[in-house]
Amino acid sequence: MSQFWSQRTRELDPYTPGEQPKDTQYIKLNTNENPYPPSPKALAAIKAEASADLRLYSDPNSDDLKQAIAEFYNVEQAQVFVGNGSDEVLAHTFVALLKQNKPLLYPDISYSFYPVYSKLFGIDAKTIPLDQRFEINIDDYTVPNGGIIFPNPNAPTGIALPLEKIETMLQANPDSAVVVDEAYVDFGAETAISLINQYDNLLVIQTFSKSRSLAGLRVGFAVGNSNLIEGLERVKNSFNSYPLGRMDIAGAAASIRDVSYFQQTCQQIALTREQVSSKLSEMGFEVLPSSANFIFAKPCGVSAESLYLSLKEQGVLVRYFAYPRISDYLRITIGTDDEMQTFLQKIEGILA
């Protein structure tokens, strides 16, 4: 605490990212990073940008990247917004669309950045409990609100909400922005981008960090009605005109244009996820049905916290949340088949 801190700074409750240890070589199954490298085409594009041209500012509008995203999703470039990681896109969304006179709604168990942004931007938020099965019940989102946000698939549960239910929610809330955070959608859920031309209140946010193996590049994007996008651009241009560097723009554009590499790695992760889920179920774990690149599971015969600690001691990092309702569960990121083999062997050893 410093006397120079503003009142707002004193009151903040910052987000705590998963551990990124710099000492031991861990098998990292704790921050939902992709175990496979980025597309070789993305790496080549990034290297090509490491030139004398870095003395020049990047394109403030990231037009080539927006064009590549628009082509991939068959939307207009004016329906695409890009930012420095989807966390930044989310921050601009909170300011541009979700700070209203009525409360913002999001699930009680969800991405823990939402309460952090609500506090930072002075947004009144109301959490809506997931049901007994940790699912979003759309009927609970019909109360008066100034906006709705949720991840789909949800984090850290991995459970996906079907597109028909999202559509019902959009119809029930025509006067609120409904924001779907699709950080994990490519691993097995259906994107809501197909609905943006029908619903002017829908904003879909995605990231290159998970399904495109570019967490270290920091690129995220939003797709929605051009009026929503214009609102985001107004906030972005009041904050940072050049959120993406030359290497970010080139790498992300090459990545989204490499469709076959993307599909192949996503499929592999989904396959590994199903195999690991069955193994954990056989061991007596309660495994939630995941459509993401992680599994949320309740161990059997040992507490989640002690299993987390034992695994860490043996060089495997998973994520444990000491939060209400979920402190009996671990979130396990899907790694390579070899990494998951080691993970399962360590668990067998610990439980024996």
Ligand X SMILES: *Cc1c(COP(=O)(O)O)cnc(C)c1O
Work out how close the CB of 33 gets to ligand X at its nearest, in angstroms, rounded to a whole number. Answer: 9
Place of tokens 């969304």: 93
**Is the separation of the CB atoms in 292 and 33 below 8 Å?**
no
Residue 58 neighbours by CB under 8 Å, 6+ apart: 242, 244, 245, 246, 248, 249
Adjacency order of strands within the sheet including 220-224 = 80-83, 220-224, 202-207, 178-181, 147-151, 104-107, 125-128
Q: Determine the interface stretch with ligand X among 46-54, 81-89, 310-318, 321-329 (rule: CB under 6 A).
A: 81-89
For ligand X, which residue of 151, 224, 243, 245 counts as binding (CB under 6 A)?
Answer: 151
Rounded Cα distance between 82 and 24, Å, is: 35
For ligand X, which residue of 78, 163, 215, 344 counts as binding (CB under 6 A)?
Answer: 215
Query: Does 251 interact with ligand X (rule: CB under 6 A)?
Result: no
Work out how close the CB of 182 gets to ligand X at its nearest, in angstroms, rounded to a whole number. Answer: 9
Query: Does 220 interact with ligand X (rule: CB under 6 A)?
Result: yes
Residue 147 neighbours by CB under 8 Å, 6+ apart: 97, 98, 100, 104, 105, 176, 177, 178, 179
Of 218 and 346, the one with the shorter C-beta distance to ligand X is: 218
Of 161 and 347, the one with the shorter C-beta distance to ligand X is: 161
Tokens read off for 121: 């931007």
Query: Does 209 interact with ligand X (rule: CB under 6 A)?
Result: yes
H or E element at residue 341: helix 337-351
Work out how close the CB of 185 gets to ligand X at its nearest, in angstroms, rounded to a whole number. Answer: 10
Q: Determine the interface stretch with ligand X among 4-12, 53-61, 83-91, 308-316 (rule: CB under 6 A).
A: 83-91
For ligand X, which residue of 130, 155, 254, 311 counts as binding (CB under 6 A)?
Answer: 155
**Contacting residues toward ligand X, per CB under 6 A:** 32, 85-87, 111, 151, 155, 181, 183, 207, 209, 215, 220
